[in-house]
Chain A
Amino acid sequence: GAVVSQHPSWVICKSGTSVKIECRSLDFQATTMFWYRQFPKQSLMLMATSNEGSKATYEQGVEKDKFLINHASLTLSTLTVTSAHPEDSSFYICSAHPRLAGVYEQYFGPGTRLTVT
């Protein structure tokens, strides 16, 4: 199956700093990637849709200036959590659609566990 990687797998940072998370599709091209957040024992929450070459589409209630998304190539999307606060501590997961006809599944990266102290 398709492989999606994320880096870093975990990060601890201090309040007020910014953290960049990378999402890469390793063996396929993805015009669309998605960023999710998941708090413990809760369901996945879609934050934004990342579109290659254009602006991301954010879900209601997600601050676009706080969660900066860049999808500069068909294999890489980045999420930057700016001025992180302890309440941003969460499990961030990206997913991607292979750019292949007839393939509609999403493939998820292994996630990044962010802890803000």
Chain B
Amino acid sequence: RKEVEQDPGPFNVPEGATVAFNCTYSNSASQSFFWYRQDCRKEPKLLMSVYSSGNEDGRFTAQLNRASQYISLLIRDSKLSDSATYLCVVNPYNAGKSTFGDGTTLTVKP
């Protein structure tokens, strides 16, 4: 079993749709959690950090459930520019080596 597992993709949604991604992690001692986005042939860029009960940034909401060991990312009112691969990242301790999920690909269509 992988340490970090993400929803298999791809997700193809129309503009304006709401889409949610889930990610589960196996190490219960994990301390910090992030969502990154990666565009084709580019480096990953930090989208959101998820530290405790979750947080919201505009159309994006990230939630953390420590008891069930999963984090989620909700994107509301999808835009064409949201098309990318979304990576779930988990750190076993706060400044240590991260474990990446395989990513979920989102395509937002007109």
* Residues of B1-53 whose CB lies within 8 A of A: 31-32, 34, 41-46, 49
List chain A residues, Cβ under 8 A from B34. 105
**Shortest distance in angstroms between A105's beta carbon and chain B's nearest beta carbon?**
5
The interface size of chain A toward B, counting residues with CB under 8 Å, comes to 19
Residue ID in chain A nearest B91 by CB atoms: A104
Residue ID in chain A nearest B89 by CB atoms: A106
Interface size bracket, B side: 20 to 34
List chain A residues, Cβ under 8 A from B95. 32, 97, 104
Residue ID in chain B nearest A108 by CB atoms: B43
Bits for A75-117, please: 1 = Cβ < 8 Å to B, else 0. 0000000000000000101000100000011111111010000
Contact of B46 among A43, A46, A91, A107 (CB under 8 A): A107
Q: Is B69 positioned at the interface, with any CB of A under 8 Å from its CB?
A: no
For the complex, give the distance between the alpha carbons of A44 and B87 in Å: 10
Q: Is A25 positioned at the interface, with any CB of B under 8 Å from its CB?
A: no
Please indicate which of the listed interface residues A34, A93, A104 has the most CB atoms of chain B within 10 Å of its own CB: A104
Contact indicator A43/B102 (Cβ below 8 Å): yes
State the B residues within 8 Å of A (CB): 31-32, 34, 41-46, 49, 87, 89, 91, 94-95, 97-98, 100-103
